[in-house]
Structure 1
Amino acid sequence: MAYLCVGFFYTQIMTTLKDITTLEDIKLLVDSFYSKVQKDEFIGPIFNAKIGNQWPEHLEKMYRFWQTILLEVHTYSGSPFPPHKQLPVAKEHFDRWMELFSTTIDGLFTGPIAEEAKLRAKNMAEMFNYKIDYFRNATKNNPQH
């Protein structure tokens, strides 16, 4: 609940958040999140360098990915990890990604699917970080890997 001051009178504004239930909700989440990512001083340059002028295509892919994960509408195929394998990222980058993702969800949605989205994102960030570390160490120890 928020309050708006108009002169000497306070008006109560009811803000009702709902859960993620439709493709339109997924698009709102993805568009809002990646808008923050693109502008972020820490992770924005990494994403912008990798994606370049392919943002519309990337967003479409992310709509399908999250629609498949959260709404169980199987529109995404592929493996999400390989494009991230060579990125110059560390745990701090995943932490920032997760912070932006969680605050985006919390500002737009509430409910079990919204909570599931944050849990899935957290698990994915941890897995990606682990795999990237693994492949970097494997490459250092065995340059032909």
Structure 2
Amino acid sequence: MMKDIETRADIILLVDHFYTKVQENQTIGPIFTQVANVDWSHHLPKMYDFWESILFGKAIYKGNPMLTHFSLNEKAPLKTEEFNAWKTIFFEVVDELFAGENAEIIKQKAQSIADLMHYKINSPQSKINIV
């Protein structure tokens, strides 16, 4: 029986596996590796903090993911295909590594965050507000 997500170490395992698969993905990998040119030594610890804050309610994440993604969208459009690829990989990694209440919660949170981000980036109002 697989264990649930219970600690920061579990978050680190999840995030590390997720971004390994992201880098290999034909749809979104190039966005991370070529367009954003992500510094993984900086990005991964931020993502550990982000998901630990989201799942466990710890106020340790510092940053504004919406602004980062709006900026990235100007370089490489983030459309439905990109968000769906991100969600598919995230859900697959969670399901490969964990099972339980927190595993389901983190998938629900990821779905909500991705869907809201997609809406804000691609809504007609977002084009008006950033011009």
**What is the TM-score with the length of structure 2 in the denominator?**
0.89
What percent of counterpart residues are identical? 41
Structure of higher RCO (CA pairs closer than 8 Å, 6+ residues apart) = 2
What one-letter code is carried by the residue in structure 2 that aligns with 1:37?
A: V
Secondary structure of 2:26 counterpart: coil
Corresponding residue number in structure 2 for 1:112 = 101
**Structure 2 unaligned residues grouped into runs of 5+:** none
1:38-80 CA-to-partner distances (Å, cap 9, x unmatched) read: 1111110011124425111100100000011112222112222
How many pairs align? 127
Contact 1:105 1:114 in 2 (8 A): yes
**Structure 1 unaligned residues grouped into runs of 5+:** 1-15
Secondary structure of 1:85 counterpart: helix
- Backbone CA RMSD of aligned residues: 1.8
**What is the TM-score with the length of structure 1 in the denominator?**
0.81
The alpha-carbon deviation at position 134 of structure 1 amounts to 2.4
- In terms of Rg, which structure is larger? 1
What one-letter code is carried by the residue in structure 2 that aligns with 1:30?
A: V
Alignment partner of 1:93 out of 69, 76, 82: 82
Whichever structure has more strand as a proportion of its residues is 1
Seen in structure 2, the aligned counterparts of structure 1 residues 59 and 129 have a Cα distance that, compared at 3 Å, is: same
Runs of 4+ aligned residues of structure 1 deviating over 6 Å after TM superposition are: none
Tell me if 1:36 matches 2:21: yes
